[in-house]
Structure 1
Amino acid sequence: MRHLRTTTENGGALAAAFPSRLADEVHAVLTVMPKSRHPSMSPFLVRVSGESVAIPYRIHHDEPPAGTEGSLTENQRLILHCLYSRHGDGRIRQRRLERVVGSGEPWAAPFVVQLVGEYVLEILEAIRRGLPDLAVPGSAPWLLYGDFVARNPAFFRQTERRVVSYWSCYHRHRYPVFGTYPGCLLLESLRAAAAVRSGTSWPRHTPPPLAGPARS
């Protein structure tokens, strides 16, 4: 029988993934999450709504037992989906991401952008499907993600480099031109939105979109 976690067991680490004003909501979510068999992996730090949050790179909790999620509010379910979008199982990450990507909450944005810099192609395609207006100036996703990237340049820079690395290692046989790779298309939209929202030109840390793979 799986044991439900207590909020004191690593709960502080997971609660740190969200702004402090959500502490009570996160507390409710943690009470339905089963105990993790392994500790969460090192967090990445970003700024959300003027506050620093520390989001785990991976979590290893089983998903809640059937029916438990129904006891949560809509906002609490979104928090739950965000946490499980960091799961070690890529299928769980994708399924939970699909429930997060359309959210207009600023604190959900880093969970989506982090997945832009990961290797699962189906997840990149799910983000593109879930954000069809990301490249449309003035749209809700353009404003939300442009603001987030503009406030987290170091995080976005690292994301860019990961996109290039995973393209080169795993996907360049399918996408020999970088600009056709779904990760590149997402980066271009995010970079353009951030440039306008910040009022400055935005540096590129990727090959030009028409570049093929570098070879020695």
Structure 2
Amino acid sequence: MQLPQAPSHATHVLVAAFPTCLAADVRRVLAVVPDTGLAPMDSFEVEVQGETVDLPSRICNEEPGADSTRLLTGTQQVILHCLYSRHSAGRVRQHHLEQLMGSREPWVVPFVVQLAGEYVLEILEVIGQGLAGLAVPGSAERRLYGEFITRNPAFFARTERRVVSYWSCYYRWKYPVFGAYPGGALMEAFRAAASEHLGARWPRHTPPPLRVA
């Protein structure tokens, strides 16, 4: 059950989803986000370049209008898209994710990886298309995502297990081979990025890519 929260507490929770150097920018973004009176749902911690951030699992705020967001800076726009990529409505998550796919900010990465572990097939396809550079050895995307995964092994292992669970429950009939499932292909690409960053093979928590399970 989601309980009412004081606005100041909700602000503190969402500011904690980003590095401290962005606190003023996050507060500027939250000033244009409609208030719901409800707390963000749950949260999960990850490390971003040596700093722990605490991302909400879901938010329920309505999207702000274009007039409210027009004066936000480029960084603030990205923060806004990150927050709404955690929205309770799948279509809202997908729309804001699409706006994030060109970003190379390290603090955007956990928002994208978390979505890779969710169940909406269209979102997995957006990530796969938007992170095509993961297939290129030495690419900026491989370095960015590889560093994040190696800093957060437990989070990534949990993400892998969620991908397997959703595949098995909802998509196995369509993709009998796990590696052909968009989520499975993403996990393989993320592991390749982590292996390249680490200089050694990254452990697997999913079925082998060619196995018919």
TM over 0.5, shorter chain = yes
TM-superposed CA distance for 1:116, in Å, is: 0.5
**1:71 Cα deviation after fit:** 1.3
Shift of 1:154: 0.4
1:81 partnered with 2:81: yes
Q: Distance in 1 between matches of 2:36 and 2:44?
A: 19
The two structures, once aligned, show a CA RMSD in angstroms of 1.4
Equivalent in the alignment of 1:103:
103
| Aligned-pair CA distance for 1:7 | 6.2
Listed one character per residue, the Cα deviations across residues 62-86 of structure 1 (whole Å, up to 9, x for unaligned) are 0002321111001000000000000
Match of 1:154 in 2: 154
Determine helix, strand or coil for the equivalent of 2:46. Answer: strand
CA distance in structure 1 between the partners assigned to 2:192 and 2:199 by the alignment: 11
Partner of 1:200: 200
Instruction: Percent identity, please.
Output: 58
Structure 2 matches for 1:41-190, cutoff 5 A?
41-190=41-190
Cα deviations across residues 19-58 of structure 1 (Å, max 9, x unaligned)?
A: 0000110010000000025321111110001100000000
Structure 2 length-normalised TM: 0.95
Q: Is the 8 A contact 1:14 1:56 kept in 2?
A: yes
Instruction: For 2:36 and 2:140, locate their aligned partners in 1 and report how far apart those are by CA, in whole Å.
Output: 35
SS of 2:32's equivalent in the other structure is coil
Q: CA deviation at 1:9?
A: 4.5
Structure 1 length-normalised TM? 0.93
List alignment gaps of at least 5 residues for structure 2.
Answer: 1-5
Q: Matched residues in 2 for 1:102 and 1:166: separation?
A: 26
Conserved 8 A contact 1:58-1:87: yes
Aligned to 2:3: none
Written as runs of structure 1 = structure 2, the 5 A alignment for 1:8-47 is: 8-47=8-47
Structure 2 SS opposite 1:22: helix
Which residue identity does 2:112 align to in structure 1?
Answer: V
Q: In the alignment, residue 126 of structure 2 is paired with which amino acid?
A: A
Q: Distance in 1 between matches of 2:208 and 2:63?
A: 40
Contact in 2 for aligned 1:7/1:27 (Cα 8 Å): no
SS at match of 1:52: strand
Which ranges of structure 1 fall in alignment gaps of 5 or more residues?
1-5
List per-residue Cα deviations over 1:169-206 (Å, max 9, x = no partner). Answer: 00111111101001111111110110121123211001
In structure 2, distance between residues paired with 1:103 and 1:141: 10
How far off its partner does 1:133 sit?
A: 1.1
Give the aligned length. 209
Q: Is the 8 A contact 2:119 2:166 kept in 1?
A: yes
SS of the residue corresponding to residue 95 of structure 1 reads: helix
C-alpha contact (below 8 Å) 1:145/1:193 kept by paired residues: yes
More helix by share: 2
